[in-house]
Amino acid sequence: MEYTNFGKAGVRVSRLALGMGLRGQDDAAEAQRAVEHAMAQGINLIDCANIYGLMDDRANVRVSEAILGKAIKGKRADVLITSKVAQVIGPGENDYGLSRYHIMREVERSLKNIGTDHIDFYIVHVFDPSTPLEETVRALDDLVRSGKVRYIGASRFESWQMMKALWIADRFNANPFMCVQHHYNLLNRRLEAQMFPLLRDQGLGAMVFSPLSVGLLSGLYSPESDPPPGSYWASRPIEEYRAKVSGAGGEVISTVIDIARELNKTPAQVALAWVLSHPEITLAITGGDTVAHLDDNLGAVGWTLDDALREKLDAVSATLVR
């Protein structure tokens, strides 16, 4: 495994993290084994959230945190964990958002649910336009100062929202966000236009999710055929799948498969290596619902794409930058 500083911060992280969204996992014991296996293979950051649960089903909120707690028993000091707050967690008026009330309530619940006294990266899951950002920034700062949280970050903020949050933290001498979490892969390069220059300018680190675009770049799917039975995309409307794998998207997938063959790597490894080739990206969060997928993904680190192949992937996905 390779490790790097998280942006300009001192903490060191593995370039692959394990995500506990569990989109395709319905077995808690298997999910726990995947976390244990990830840690044994050198992954030192596990990405979680208060809403995550088996099959990414809102009926299972908080289940991922409970599984994470079991998996890190006896190893807590050697692994970094995230959790998140802001998404709807119940039917009540205060069951979502970024108010001080909701943040404080949810962090206590997450700590208890995971069975730990601190969360390493506590991340706001979405922007909340109905709460003053000052209220959110001050609440998060209090969590850092009281030791319940080590670092704070923001998921899916636009670049101007991130700058506003950094500005407010500066104004109140509060601990600022040092981490962004965003969607980034060969089929979605929107992060490059505004967020990449911001990350360089401010020295923030970035964790990216869906580096394989929900499996489309994993090698399991081909533009020429329907999704294999039992796969995630076989469970979705076929038109949605076909829209993703036709045109520019399909050309990207084919190019990934070609390069993988040329390098004797798997498509997933090539698509992940392309993500990790950007210095703005600190780490990629892989799903790896099963140990076999995770082992495939682990083969994305320890080597780099040469410039010619990287440029080939850049070119074929260029129309997807915006």
Q: Which residues are catalytic?
A: 52
192 binds its own copies (CB under 8 A): no
Residue 79 in contact with residue 88, Cβ under 8 Å? no
Amino acid at 271: A
Which residue, 29 or 322, is less far from its own copies as judged by CB? 322
Label residues 30-60 b or e (16+ Cβ within 10 Å = b).
Answer: ebbbbbbbbbebebbbbbbbbbbbbbeeeeb
CB of 242 to its own copies, least distance (A): 18
190 binds its own copies (CB under 8 A): yes
111 binds its own copies (CB under 8 A): no
CA distance 58 to 53: 7
Closest to 271 in 3D by CA, of 292, 289, 290, 293: 293
Per CB under 8 A, the segment of 13-21, 29-37, 164-172, 226-234 that binds its own copies is 164-172
Closest to 220 in 3D by CA, of 266, 281, 168: 266
CB of 146 to its own copies, least distance (A): 27
CA dihedral (233, 283, 34, 258) positive or negative:
positive
179 binds its own copies (CB under 8 A): no
Which residue, 159 or 222, is less far from its own copies as judged by CB? 159
Per CB under 8 A, the segment of 17-25, 44-52, 176-184, 192-200 that binds its own copies is 192-200
Write the binding mask 41 to 70 for its own copies: x where contact by CB under 8 A, - elsewhere.
------------------------------
Both tokens of residue 302? 């320890």
**Residue 130, burial from CB neighbour count under 10 angstroms (0-12, 13-18, 19+):** exposed
CB of 127 to its own copies, least distance (A): 10
162 binds its own copies (CB under 8 A): yes
Which residue, 161 or 231, is less far from its own copies as judged by CB? 161
252 binds its own copies (CB under 8 A): no
CA distance 115 to 248: 46
Binding residues for its own copies, rule: CB under 8 A, are 158-160, 162-164, 166-167, 170-171, 190, 193-195, 197-198, 201, 322
